[in-house]
């Protein structure tokens, strides 16, 4: 079985017999697709032996209750499969036909008889960020912002979710301040962008962008300045509308009302001489 291409299906822990993902498993078997049914992988502990067991399978497709992007990066975090895997997020039974089609295309010719393997593993309620390393630039903003030591640099200087279970349950704050929308909380139901929904991205407001530049010292694409520290401005100095750093006014800027008044007075005095 481990040498046969399979679809990995991960129903949520609270799913009953009529769970859309269990119905999907039945449809896949009917289509001759080999199925491996596993616990809700988001809630499987980091050190569970189940992760090693799953690496023995040739996974061609994976379906779960998470959106495809966080599901993909959960697999990558645990080194499951390769770039050929098709990820399917399934929230309702209405999406089953489309899911079966995607999986069938990914699996190729079906076997004459489908098998179903059910793997057991420990689960417990968990809440932690899933990092999209395709978008992350390792700026370190999340690492400086998080109070619970969730993030750390690896040996290559790359920001990683080093201590996921340190995360405070229900807190998505680091996702809100990531300038690249690289941090996802798949269980967060109040904002599809934070949950990693397709085509949805977290966009920082002005205060969030300025906090990012101030903490990381990143180069501002608008004014070209870099460096950390509070964005303090001398009295009367202009500020960059993107990062808040003090900027010199352009040499050819139009005169303001006071400058114009002074020029008019100078011209009037010249005429009187």
pLDDT of residue 1 exceeding 60, the answer is: no
Query: Which of these, 89, 172, 177, 184, lies nearest to 133 by C-alpha position?
Result: 184
Measure the CA angle with vertex 199, ends 198 and 201; round to 5°. 105
Say what the pLDDT of residue 27 is: 92
In this prediction, residue 227 has a pLDDT band, given cuts at 50, 70 and 90, of confident
Q: 180 or 248: which carries more pLDDT confidence?
A: 180
Q: What is the pLDDT of residue 215?
A: 87
Read off the pLDDT of each residue in 182-202 and give the average, rounded to a whole number.
97
Q: Give residue 131's pLDDT.
A: 98
196 and 156 Cβ atoms separated by less than 8 Å? no
Taken in order of first residue, the domains within the chain and their CATH numbers are 5-118 (3.40.50), 130-203 (3.30.70.20)
Tell me what pLDDT residue 123 has: 95
More confident residue, 261 or 130: 130
Which tens digit of pLDDT belongs to each residue from 37-91? 999 999 999 999 999 999 999 999 999 999 999 999 999 999 999 999 999 999 8
**pLDDT (0 to 100) of residue 115:** 79
Average pLDDT, the chain: 87
């Amino acid at each position: 079985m481990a040498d046969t291409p399979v679809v990995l299906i991960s129903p949520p822990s609270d799913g009953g017999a009529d769970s859309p993902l269990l119905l999907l498993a039945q449809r896949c078997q009917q289509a001759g697709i080999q199925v491996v049914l596993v616990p809700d992988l988001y809630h499987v502990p980091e050190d569970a032996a189940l992760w090693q067991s799953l690496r023995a399978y040739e996974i061609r497709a994976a379906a779960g209750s998470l959106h495809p992007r966080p599901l993909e990066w959960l697999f990558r975090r645990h080194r499951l499969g390769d770039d050929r895997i098709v990820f399917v997020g399934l929230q309702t039974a209405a999406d089953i036909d489309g899911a079966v089609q995607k999986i069938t295309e990914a699996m190729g010719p079906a076997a004459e008889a489908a098998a179903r393997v059910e793997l057991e593993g420990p689960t417990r309620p968990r809440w932690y960020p899933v990092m999209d390393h395709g978008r992350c630039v390792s700026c370190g903003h999340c690492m400086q912002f998080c109070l619970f030591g969730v993030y750390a640099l690896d040996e290559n200087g790359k920001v990683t979710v080093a201590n996921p279970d340190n995360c405070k349950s229900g807190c998505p704050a680091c996702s809100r301040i990531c300038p690249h929308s690289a941090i996802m909380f798949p269980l967060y139901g109040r904002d599809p962008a934070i949950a990693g929904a397709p085509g949805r991205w977290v966009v920082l407001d002005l205060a969030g962008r300025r906090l990012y530049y101030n903490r990381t010292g990143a180069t501002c694409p608008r004014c070209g300045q870099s460096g950390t520290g509070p964005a303090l401005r001398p009295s009367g100095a202009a500020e960059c509308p993107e990062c808040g750093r003090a900027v010199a006014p352009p040499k050819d800027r139009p005169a303001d009302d006071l400058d114009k008044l002074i020029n008019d007075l100078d011209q009037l005095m010249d005429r009187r001489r």
